[in-house]
Amino acid sequence: MSNMANQQTHWVMDYETICNCFVAVFTHYKEDTRRVFVVHENRNDFPQYVQFLKDCVSNKEWHISYNGLAFDAQITQWVLQNQQKLLPLSSPNLVKEIYQFAQDVISRTDRGEFSLYAPYQLQIKQIDLFKMNHWDNRAKMSSLKWIQYSMDWENIEEMPHPHNQPVLSQDTLEKVITYCINDVESTKEILNFSKDQIKLRQTLTKEYGIDLYSASEPRISKELFLHFLSEKLGWNKIEIKQLRTTRSYIILAECILPYVKFKTPEFNNVLDFFRTKVITSTKDGFKHSVTYRGVQTDYGLGGIHGAISSGIYEAKPGWTIMTSDVISFYPNLAIRNGFAPEHLPKKEFGELYEWFFDERKKIPKSDPKNYVFKIILNSTYGLTGDENSFLYDPKMTMQITVNGQLLLSMLYEMIYEEIPEAIPLMQNTDGLETMIPTAYVQKYMDICARWEQLTNLSLEHDQYTKMVIRDVNNYIAVTAEKKAKDDPKEGLTAEQVWNKMKKSSPSYKFRTDGTDFFYTAVKCKGAFEWEDLHKKKVAVFHKNKSFLIIPKAIHAYFVYGTKPEEFLAQNTNILDYCAGVKSKGGWYFETRQLVDDVPEKYKNMSIEEKRQYLLANGWEQSWSDDNWVRHDAVSKEANTGLDTERAFNITVKKLSVVQKTKLQKIIRYFVSNQGNKIIKCHSDGREIQVESGPWLQTVINRIDKNKPFQDYDLNLKYYLEEIYKQIDQMEKIKPKSFTQLSLF
């Protein structure tokens, strides 16, 4: 770990292995220094490449890659181990050996087997940004090209040459090298976005002696929980790793806490549903719904979800919107009720879990360990349902999720039965939002306090002035305005705190009267999220940031009252208007465009036949046999005329034909006035328009930073219609006509 901190030379790298060509590119992780090695029939940099690797080993220089542990690092280690056998080979034989090994590595991965070389066996230490950011997880699976799109990389380029076909020209070789350099530079950019994550892993690796540099957050949680559990129990880590509790069925009645009780028939029906339910797999899930006070609430494996119908809910004078969340809900459910995997000692497990919770409260949020303990607390619930985890016990998973839903429903029922005027707005996993008269705020807090005493859980509260709700997963919530205060711990005045918030929270609303400094927090969820994508937080790079201009404009409309037309006129970032799509399997993209073409019968005419055609269709020869003017032209002598080919192409009756161009698997595009239709096609003949209707698109995988925004030919009508369509879902207004719209 300390090596990474102290050494000044480490390398961001990537390999391209083609059947007759090997390219290796290394770029200094801070500076612009670059090393390129090529093995091809006309170039053999292999000796220099091997020496470079040996220098990396001796100087303790690290390699930083995207999916390198499973591929590039395997080749590196194989080369280091077999260098004596490989160095004497001719370029063709050498490339053949490298390519064959690379294919074996890929095949091993495809079969789901472990890599030939485990991380601890690698002579050159690695940071794999793909694994570190958990982009190897099924829910977050992302290729380097997709991350390039997400972080607005200027060139989203796919491999320009198939790996199984030989590189036969210098031009093709240069394209492959340029492509590899682009991949390395974009990986370096991901590294820059991941600095805080690496610093955290650096601290943990040093403190606990576990190599966590390429570890995802769930793996950090698993490794550290294992570390502390092993110490607490005095058990061997290897033995603990083998532990599991598997169950052929789970009786949910056995999971429900004894103090769960309801008064209303609606929620007693929910309780009866859970009490009579037996499940054989947590993966199959279950679903049950109840309608109470006009709002449907859904229960399932993922938690409780319910929301009032879409609309704008604003707290008028004399009213407020209370929002209450259970603090560390799932961890505290386990801690307070003694839930533990059956194969582990309940007392020791509970004490350790509670220790993480208590320790986190002592650690300032600015300390990376605070975040680590948060990861451990939140990930442990997920690990109880992970068959590959030593915490696996699906009954504990059910104890947490079932009781979580029932206890939140108890709070829900208590509030609305005791405050009949209350209006339920939303319930979601660990909290709820309720509109109540301000006169009942204290009563509301008293109800919550009784629930806290009953459940031994804690709530945190805030007040909203407005909620813009599309559904339970997509909403904007605006808090009551607050005054910034001094922060003695950080040594900041109220104004400095306010300015810091302005930089870090662009979605918030800020104002000052010259003396005091005020802010209004704004929470955007689901389709309305944009801040983290705007700030390019690496944690959200797996998400689709398509048409970011839309949630930004909706936010400006509902928070600041800015009309979408005005907002678009102010936003000149072309990338906010772009979308990204990807294809896999038998799917591929192609553009289609109507173009004029000469009918087939005219294509093979001789030059003499074309001249005869022109004579018969209103042309005459002027200065020569190959110079033509219209016979009815004014001032023929002053007309320089056209040659035979040009005159013929202008005159012949054209046909409109569809021109098709195949695209790469990941494309970035915007909606334009002039452009093409992008079609997603399948090898079996199925076709889907990327943008249905009359809209045309322009592919923009490569960004020209010097191109003026107004030259992009954006179809602003499309964006405004989409913005107003979503606003209409909440406001119930008719979209405006944008036929004559012009922002420039």
Q: What is the pLDDT of residue 741?
A: 44
Helix (H) or strand (E) holding 727: helix 716-731
Tell me, what amino acid is at 195? K
Which tens digits make up the pLDDT trace of 309-344? 999 999 999 999 999 999 999 999 999 999 999 999
Burial class (CB in 10 A: 0-12, 13-18, 19+), 2: exposed
Please provide residue 620's backbone torsions phi and psi, each rounded to the nearest 5 degrees: -140, 155
What number is the average pLDDT over the span 618-645?
Answer: 81
- How would residue 723 be classed by pLDDT, with cut points 50, 70 and 90? very high
Total-model pTM: 0.87
Q: Write down the residue that tokens 């009490």 correspond to.
A: 275
Does residue 742 have a pLDDT over 60? no
Return d(Cα 326, Cα 458) in angstroms, integer. Answer: 6
Q: Is the pLDDT of residue 198 over 90?
A: yes
Q: What per-residue confidence (pLDDT) applies to 176?
A: 97
DSSP state of 525: E
Report the percent of the chain where pLDDT is more than 90.
80
pLDDT of 18 above 70? yes
pLDDT digits (tens, 9 = 90+) for 492-517: 999 999 999 999 999 999 999 999 99
Q: Is 427 helix (H, G, I), strand (E, B) or coil?
A: strand
**Separation CA 125–CA 56 (nearest Å):** 9
For the chain, which domains are there?
2-215 (3.30.420), 250-342+393-477 (3.90.1600.10), 606-648 (no CATH)
For residue range 81-112, what is the model confidence (pLDDT) as tens digits?
999 999 999 999 999 999 999 999 999 999 98
**607-641 as b/e: b if 16+ CB within 10 A:** eeebbebbeeeebeebeeeeebbbeeeeeeeeeeb
DSSP notation for 361-372: HHS-TTSHHHHH
Lowest average pLDDT, out of 152-166, 261-275, 324-338, 363-377, goes to: 363-377
pLDDT tens digits, residue range 355-407? 999 999 888 877 888 888 998 998 898 899 999 999 999 999 999 999 999 99
SS (H, E, C) 443-485: HHHHHHHHHHHHHCCCEEEEEEEEEEEEECCEEEEEECCEECC
Neighbours of 117 (CB within 10 A): 18
Lowest mean pLDDT among 325-334, 561-570, 591-600: 591-600
| Residue of 592 and 672 predicted with greater confidence | 672
Is the CB of residue 681 less than 8 Å from the CB of residue 667? no
On whether the CB atoms of residues 311 and 320 are closer than 8 A, the answer is no
What confidence score (pLDDT) does residue 737 get?
Answer: 47
pLDDT at 4 over 70: no
pLDDT > 60? residue 158: yes
Give the tokens for residue 126.
């690695």
Predicted local distance difference test score (pLDDT) of residue 510:
95
pLDDT of residue 734: 46
CA pair distance 728, 619, nearest whole angstrom: 59
The burial of 175, by beta-carbon neighbours within 10 Å (0-12 exposed, 13-18 middle, 19 or more buried), is given as middle
Structure-token match 């209103």, residue found: 618
* Tens-place pLDDT, residues 442-486: 999 999 999 999 999 999 999 999 999 999 999 999 999 999 999
CB proximity list for 56: less than 8 A, separation 6 or greater? 11, 62, 63, 124
Q: What is residue 656's predicted lDDT score, i.e. its pLDDT?
A: 59
Of 686, 719, 681, 502, the closest CA to residue 591 belongs to 681
Mean pLDDT of 655-659: 67
State the average pLDDT over residues 205-230.
93
